[in-house]
Structure 1
């Protein structure tokens, strides 16, 4: 069982895969060669599932600090020990890149760890405990000149190390002493068993790979990041995190880097988030429009049009709500019963059963992102015909299916319902399709789309509002609140100062928050969503509240809510999905794209509202 706090980890990414590094210098999570590959280090979910640790051999009296190298996702961890100071620099190598739109295209599948003594003397301990296939495999380890080779489970891992390591019981360990000014580099390279037998990297090669990675991230940041509003550094850093969660070969965006980090300690709400949800990816593209730039829009829409083609074209079917990062459709869920889970939170799952759910809101998120980014979607692009036909088909499906029940944005595993948010987003799909009718070459469809949008609007206003709850509610005929209804003014369905919208905003702020003022998605008491147990407050929803308040020009309240949520970034600026209501600890998969998306968009909305209020301009 792993007990290290989720917030004690930092993210590394080469835009193919991701690693999480603890404050103790342990790589507790690493999947090669893709985000969704089986882990080779899985200590995050069970102490016996593998790790690679580089840290002071005696760290009990050390103080630790961390930071990312400016404008990068290259991590520096510094230990000040009684005998000296050790600085560890970690990166998943991106390969060299002078093209800011090709970050990670030449990634060599290499983790680089550079340990430098900057003062005094430090003994450095090294523990290499590879456990491929989520800890199922104890590989064969062999010492070779310049390092150690581990083979097993289809993976070949080569640890480059400047000192001999003792090999025993599927592990390699050693200690080296560094004096002030001395620096050593370690590297972990991955190959499959079908590739040529690899050899360890030399120190000069590793140093070049590290410097190339710093420069590649800086090239991307400087070319993309121009936001100058409030919380500038948080917004820019969140933009890099979202880029880090993007799979470079296809443009697919993973919801998070991990699987099965729980929404409640010891509970069953543990899901695999290493896939692309249409909803999350579209929200990410919109956030990148603020925090970076949308030049990657073409790649994503090409990926999605190809991946989802069979979902909406050629047969009467729904758009599949999520895909593998290579475009895979079948994401069948299974449990890994040999793993204890983070703090004994079982089951540990891989795959995600939500892939087969109906969630009709996705049409709105998709058309919404296309509308916002349409200037970047060149109609002469070779793939333009495919995504144009795809978007028209999505609008048609929203018009046809909006009256049906679904599992909703929160993917409930209980009975399907008429969720208000799902209806709202079908309206968004049609509203944006109408606005894009000319470039989509769909003028003949506008009349039908407009009629369907009017029907949805009437249904939401009459069946989604409750005089008893004094709020728009989670589903038609319900009295339950749902934070997703805060999106109503954000997407332009109602102005934020409409009395019904103001009442809904206040209802969420007053009755759907914890003692800290953080927002729940909805109340889970009594297993209303088909699952046992409770969950924490949801950071995205808290940022939605800040954004809705900004839309209503309640800037001071919006700032207060934003600051409240932003206090939960960890020491290197990362957010998980939720916050434990009793302890204030981060919960859920990590880092979570949704949370960083919420931060970016709320900061931008508050910036816009402040300018609007200061100028006296109308909303």
Structure 2
């Protein structure tokens, strides 16, 4: 493959791979530059973020002189990334990994220890002059020690140790390697000290590969596009905080939803609604531990917070206050760059349903609800009884005055429905009869008040007016309205027609019809298109769903990754990358299609619990 395109000096977002160890992670470009890296935690200040400013962001470069072609691939079924770089004089292969501790098993909790990024370069043929540059954002105080350097990084309040198999005069120099020769660099942080020799570093990569492949063997393969499903599962595992099961939305901040626009947000946190969607998907592809871990984290976070939030940091606390970083120009000059997320303070009434749905799935898989947790859950259900009547900022976290969003009302119905079912099935105290009655009444209100006779569709909020909203494709997924209900079929038809971005892609809404406070266009939202696949399956249109699913999969990056959005004009990826919910959508749609193709009745169509 030829040398990747650059735009204003930046690689396309999709020309990156992700590596990590379940605590921190990095993005590595197809030119072998580490251009974004946060350690020791996903939400730590970035050590490198050239992806947000190629001049001031900092990076870790391994670059042959006169580069001509480059290609990336993952070692099969792993989170270990390989980049082949062809120059005029030869070819060098770079293998990158956050290596795991000896004996680590991804299917179990990974013990805390020294975090380590290992970069191994081997010349495949010819002779390579390899430029090596390690430049943390904000600079580092460098001190040589035995076998390497100590890097004190004041901006990150982090001290790292760099070891190398080759003696270099500093952190920016050129190394000549001939065919068959290799070099490695190990960047370490955290507790402990590692003086293992070269062979041990190579072995660490090999052991990490084995650990990933051992874990990946648990992922089912009797689904459409099994390789992409497995890659999606690995991506979610890379986003999974091993200490408590929280799965972050994405490993990056401020990658724009439209180049040159200001739709730039920090997604390095965990959303409660993501748990409800992700758990459903993870359980069905053979990953109950990851599903249970995220459920446990979500319920623990909600239990400790007097007023449930839509998102938390990985340790279950409120994300930091949103701030604008004026020092960075942004990806392709798309300012501002933001750290923290102000949406954590917004009222978003769907959170009530997300929490109760998590509890319902938790109980359905054998989890227990103790008295203290159930007291918290009943309080959430009681809050949902009235919350749907008041405006909020909705699933899309609009930055305008609140509105009575249909999706929010629907998830309040979910809260009441799940609370009633839990109380009855587990013989728990509460008001199951009242909750069930109000859930049914709220379903009726949605069917009536959200319906717009002129557009022949449900619209974004209750009452007159309001634009089309692709989030309503999720109503069957949440068991609010079945996919084959006539009004849901009509809504699916309207969304497909009027929110189409071409190529099977959908806009989540049109800002001119549904003001969100930014007055800017954006890309097509990947998750919504997978929701459309699920609706088509639920309506018995399996062939159409299968064709759409394959079309969507063709939009994946060369490594099988998805951002949050895709530019319908040029199919470049937009938004934070890789986006967990895009991969959750792919997995869930693959499972629904597999069931339908085996002749199993769609889960999203009419069921007895709707009657």
Query: Taking structure 1 as the reference length, what is the TM-score of the superposition?
Result: 0.91
Aligned to 1:315: none
Deviates more, 1:297-306 or 1:413-422: 297-306
* Separation (CA, whole Å) in 2 of partners of 1:493 and 1:111: 46
Pairing 1:289–2:283 present: yes
Cα distance, 1:226 vs structure 2:
2.0
* Separation (CA, whole Å) in 2 of partners of 1:526 and 1:346: 25
Cα distance, 1:204 vs structure 2:
3.0
Aligned to 2:3: none
Deviations 1:545-566 (A, max 9, x none): 1111111111122122222221
Aligned to 1:182: 181
Among 394, 399, 402, the residue aligned to 1:413? 399
The secondary structure found in structure 2 opposite 1:251 is coil
Pairing 1:39–2:46 present: yes
Cα distance, 1:526 vs structure 2:
7.1
Aligned to 1:117: 123
Among 203, 208, 221, the residue aligned to 2:198? 203
* Separation (CA, whole Å) in 2 of partners of 1:38 and 1:253: 18
* Separation (CA, whole Å) in 2 of partners of 1:608 and 1:303: 29
Q: Which blocks of at least 5 consecutive residues in structure 1 are unaligned?
A: 132-136, 313-317
Deviates more, 1:239-248 or 1:321-330: 321-330
Pairing 1:77–2:83 present: yes
Aligned to 1:509: 496
Deviations 1:386-415 (A, max 9, x none): 544443333232224222221110001111
Cα distance, 1:571 vs structure 2:
0.9
Among 24, 29, 32, the residue aligned to 1:22? 29
Matches within 5 A, 1:209-288: 209-222=204-217, 224-288=218-282
Aligned to 2:335: 346
Deviations 1:323-363 (A, max 9, x none): 11111125311111111000111111001001111111122
Whether the 8 Å CA contact 1:2–1:341 is kept in 2: the answer is no
* Separation (CA, whole Å) in 2 of partners of 1:160 and 1:213: 19
* Separation (CA, whole Å) in 1 of partners of 2:286 and 2:362: 13
* Separation (CA, whole Å) in 1 of partners of 2:450 and 2:601: 35
Cα distance, 1:307 vs structure 2:
2.4
Among 56, 66, 70, the residue aligned to 2:72? 66
Pairing 1:165–2:181 present: no
Whether the 8 Å CA contact 2:388–2:404 is kept in 1: the answer is no
Whether the 8 Å CA contact 1:94–1:105 is kept in 2: the answer is no
* Separation (CA, whole Å) in 1 of partners of 2:371 and 2:419: 16
* Separation (CA, whole Å) in 1 of partners of 2:91 and 2:401: 57
Pairing 1:591–2:578 present: yes
* Separation (CA, whole Å) in 2 of partners of 1:360 and 1:448: 20
* Separation (CA, whole Å) in 2 of partners of 1:527 and 1:455: 27
Q: Aligned pair in 2 of structure 1 residues 228, 369: CA closer, same or farther (>3 Å)?
A: farther
Whether the 8 Å CA contact 1:331–1:355 is kept in 2: the answer is no
Deviations 1:57-93 (A, max 9, x none): 331x2x2222111121100112244443322111112
* Separation (CA, whole Å) in 2 of partners of 1:107 and 1:384: 33
* Separation (CA, whole Å) in 2 of partners of 1:375 and 1:488: 21
* Separation (CA, whole Å) in 2 of partners of 1:599 and 1:366: 23
* Separation (CA, whole Å) in 2 of partners of 1:67 and 1:162: 24
Aligned to 1:492: 479
Among 321, 324, 341, the residue aligned to 2:313? 324
Whether the 8 Å CA contact 1:96–1:216 is kept in 2: the answer is no
Cα distance, 1:523 vs structure 2:
0.4
* Separation (CA, whole Å) in 1 of partners of 2:481 and 2:560: 34
Whether the 8 Å CA contact 1:301–1:387 is kept in 2: the answer is no
Whether the 8 Å CA contact 1:428–1:491 is kept in 2: the answer is yes
Whether the 8 Å CA contact 2:450–2:458 is kept in 1: the answer is yes
Query: Taking structure 2 as the reference length, what is the TM-score of the superposition?
Result: 0.92
The secondary structure found in structure 2 opposite 1:521 is coil
Deviates more, 1:92-101 or 1:13-22: 92-101
Aligned length: 593
Q: Aligned pair in 2 of structure 1 residues 331, 130: CA closer, same or farther (>3 Å)?
A: closer
Q: Aligned pair in 2 of structure 1 residues 68, 594: CA closer, same or farther (>3 Å)?
A: same
Cα distance, 1:187 vs structure 2:
0.7
Whether the 8 Å CA contact 2:278–2:291 is kept in 1: the answer is no
Q: Aligned pair in 2 of structure 1 residues 200, 350: CA closer, same or farther (>3 Å)?
A: farther
Cα distance, 1:291 vs structure 2:
3.1
Among 500, 519, 529, the residue aligned to 1:542? 529
Q: Aligned pair in 2 of structure 1 residues 488, 614: CA closer, same or farther (>3 Å)?
A: closer
* Separation (CA, whole Å) in 2 of partners of 1:588 and 1:121: 38
Among 63, 73, 92, the residue aligned to 1:86? 92
The secondary structure found in structure 1 opposite 2:343 is helix
Aligned to 1:151: 152
Q: Aligned pair in 2 of structure 1 residues 526, 337: CA closer, same or farther (>3 Å)?
A: farther
Whether the 8 Å CA contact 1:321–1:362 is kept in 2: the answer is yes
Whether the 8 Å CA contact 2:250–2:576 is kept in 1: the answer is yes
Cα distance, 1:436 vs structure 2:
2.2
Deviates more, 1:294-303 or 1:411-420: 294-303
